[in-house]
Structure 1
Amino acid sequence: MGSFDVYELLKPFYNRLLYYLIRQKIIQADETTMRVIHDGRENCPKSYMWLYQSGGYHSKCPIVLYEYQPTRAGQHAKTFLTGFSGYLQTDGFPGYHIFENENSEVTLLGCMAHARRKFHDALKALPKNSQKKPGMVQMAISKIAKLYAIEKQIKPLNAEQRYLIRQEKSKPLLDD
């Protein structure tokens, strides 16, 4: 049996998934470091695996795609998502700000888990005797916990029911 390149065999399938991914209303993206060994050397520069997935309950065909890139430049996401028009949910990494211009059809959304992490880090930075006292950081963590509790309760509901409950219960917490 002759040799073949698996990448070349899968490329049409991958491209078709990308075609459907960029037609979604919401895409979630993240990138993580990885070490790639070149020519047997152990100390190699960081590389990145970028992840893109269809987001929310609106996706009729859930898709998760990965893309290897040697850097963390935001241009990689912009190139990968060429043709995408909708909401892009990320962790707030500044590289995604490349989508923020007057002609962009992409609206950036934050991630509540990453926002919560920043408040948790701020809480740990407080002196020990202040960590349990009421304050702005503790209030933010408490409100986020309430949002998580609401999400847990409404998970089995349909999209319209979740929307109505979020407007009634979650929106006031977020506005506050």
Structure 2
Amino acid sequence: PQEFLKGFKGYLHSDAYSGYKKITGIKRCLCWTHLRRKFVDALPKDIQSPESTLPGQGITFCNKLFEIEKTLENLSSEQRKSERLKQEKPVLEAFWAWIDATRGKV
């Protein structure tokens, strides 16, 4: 990745591949699908109501973001950016508040 991204500055949206940590000048943005998979993997296998668990709540946040993204598919990049700020920012703020509130419980 160092050679391929040589000279690139900005945000890099990718999985959590550790090789990207060695690249300077980028800000890593990880994939919500990969994060959601971690929540799915953390679900207890024998639970009757997974939505009431912490992993289930995390999945709900991810799913909400995916639902919003689906509605933005046919918009221009500028329109998507505007709508993401309007629609997704509150979901992300709630997600990070939830993370902060649950951090000591896990």
**TM-score bracket, shorter-length normalisation:** 0.7 to 0.9
1:20-31 correspondence to structure 2 within 5 Å:
none
For residues 136-151 of structure 1, the aligned pairs below 5 Å read: 136-151=54-69
| Distance (whole Å) between structure 2 residues aligned to residue 150 and residue 84 of structure 1 | 29
CA distance in 2, matches of 1:129, 1:87: 38
CA positional deviation for 1:132:
2.3
AA matched with 2:83? I
Q: Which has the higher helix share?
A: 2
- 1:175 is aligned to 93
Gaps of 5+ in 1: 1-76
* Aligned match for 2:6, one of 82, 86, 97: 82
Aligned counterpart, 2:39? 119
Ranked by relative contact order (alpha carbons within 8 Å, sequence separation 6 or more), the top structure is 2
Q: SS at 1:80's partner residue? A: coil
Q: Any idea what SS the aligned residue of 1:128 has? A: coil
Q: In the TM superposition, what whole-angstrom CA distance separates every residue of 1:69-126 from its partner, at most 9, and x where no partner exists? A: xxxxxxxx11222112222222112221112xxxx22111101111111111111xx1
CA deviations over 1:132-172 (Å, ceiling 9, x no partner): 25022111101111111110101101122212221121111
Structure ID, larger Rg: 1
Letter in 2 for 1:115: L
Question: 1:91 maps to which residue?
Answer: 15
Report the alpha carbon displacement of residue 131 of structure 1 after superposing the two structures with TM.
5.2
Name 2:99's counterpart in structure 1.
none
Q: Distance in 2 between matches of 1:96 and 1:79?
A: 11
In structure 2, how many angstroms separate the alpha carbons of the residues matched to 1:133 and 1:113? 18
Matched, 1:159 2:77: yes
Instruction: For 2:37 and 2:84, locate their aligned partners in 1 and report how far apart those are by CA, in whole Å.
Output: 22
Aligned twin of 1:34: none
RMSD of the TM alignment (CA)? 1.6
Compute the displacement of 1:129 (Å): 2.4
Bigger strand fraction: 1
Residues 117, 128 of structure 1: alpha-carbon distance in 2 compared, 3 angstrom cutoff:
same
Which ranges of 4 or more aligned residues in structure 1 deviate by more than 6 Å? none
Q: Which consecutive unaligned segments of at least 5 residues does structure 2 have?
A: 95-106
Aligned residue-pair number: 94
Match of 1:142, SS? helix
Q: Among 34, 50, 56, which residue is 1:132 paired with?
A: 50
The TM-score, its normalising length taken from structure 1, stands at: 0.49
CA distance in 2, matches of 1:83, 1:145: 35
